[in-house]
Amino acid sequence: MDDQQAPVVFVVLGPPGAGKGTQSGMLASLFRIPHISVGNLLRSCVQDKSEARLRLRRMMELGSLVPDTLVLDVLAARVSEPDCARGLILDGFPRTLRQAGLLERGLLKSPLYSTNAREKLVAVHLRVQPSTIVGRLSGRRICSRCGATYHLETQPPRVSGECDLDGSALTIREDDRKATVLERLRIYQQETAPILSHYAGKTSLLEVDGEQPKENIAREIVTAIQSMLRISVAGARNAQSMVENNP
Ligand code: AP5
């Protein structure tokens, strides 16, 4: 992103397993702005063994949303870090209309943004069928150390069961068990899906077919963002050519 532009906040929306983390990671390296995964922030935060944290961890393992106070604490701390000054990609926030309202009312009014124009919000919705989701989440494996994501069929590690980046063991996320995935889908429909019509009337909402190969999705998003924001930024041109050169 261009240093002179108001920061752009990308909100990546979609059901569990839609590819939010995958696309956010690709876009973050293409646009050179941070990918903030609220799920990852929360998973690190509930590692400590206090009774309160264990309760929250259990909520996540069962697929429930955790209380806003915790979400807002971890998010506010992360957004105030210097690398967020030029924009950021939010993966997993907002998840309710209330959280969407908090975001619009200035949740990100970080001191980092105070000398810039108000940040611009662009929402990207990855549309994926429930049957695809179950397949993606049952095949997902996560590095136990760095959190890198794999899929047994579509993105296997070079050595079975080991992370390409650090060689650590790959694990199954507790909330990827089938019954929990169905519960997460139910919560998504009830709590998160209404945000889409809310955004459709208010902000730039980009609808993307999330069933495509991940490189095609990234290419479609970059092209749409360029025309949506009339990005004069070198970052977007670089992003486009990087996607073109890495099919
Ligand atoms: P979170 O970690 O955010 O989980 P989620 O939203 O359910 O999303 P996932 O991480 O499961 O999937 P994804 O869409 O990122 O897909 P991915 O790219 O990994 O949140 C976990 C929990 O934290 C919540 O349940 C809640 O408890 C709590 N929480 C988080 N935010 C909260 C909030 N705001 N408020 C309250 N509570 C909150 O891809 C999935 C698999 O598919 C991978 O294996 C990948 O390799 C593969 N894949 C990806 N794209 C493709 C493709 N195009 N083609 C083929 N395979 C693909």
* pLDDT score recorded for residue 8: 85
Do the beta carbons of residue 164 and residue 158 sit within 8 Å? yes
* pLDDT score recorded for residue 1: 60
Q: Going by CA atoms, what residue is nearest to atom 42 of ligand 1? A: 136
Q: Going by CA atoms, what residue is nearest to atom 21 of ligand 1? A: 39
* pLDDT score recorded for residue 108: 63
C-alpha to C-alpha distance for 244 and 247, rounded to whole angstroms: 6
* pLDDT score recorded for residue 228: 77
* pLDDT score recorded for residue 105: 78
Q: Which residues are catalytic?
A: 20, 95, 140, 173, 184
Q: Going by CA atoms, what residue is nearest to atom 30 of ligand 1? A: 39
Pocket of ligand 1 (CB under 6 A): 14, 16-22, 38-39, 42, 60, 63-66, 71, 92-93, 95, 99, 136, 139-140, 149, 151, 154-155, 175, 184, 213-214, 217
* pLDDT score recorded for residue 120: 81
Name the residue of 132, 149, 185, 212 to mutate for ligand 1: max ligand atoms within 8 A of Cβ.
Answer: 149
Q: Going by CA atoms, what residue is nearest to atom 6 of ligand 1? A: 16
How far, in Å, from the CA of 202 to the mean position of ligand 1?
Answer: 25
Q: Going by CA atoms, what residue is nearest to atom 34 of ligand 1? A: 93
Name the residue of 66, 132, 187 to mutate for ligand 1: max ligand atoms within 8 A of Cβ.
Answer: 66
Structure tokens at 236: 């977007």
Ligand 1 atom having least distance to the Cα of 175: 25
For the chain, residues with pLDDT lower than 70 are: 1-6, 107-119, 230-247
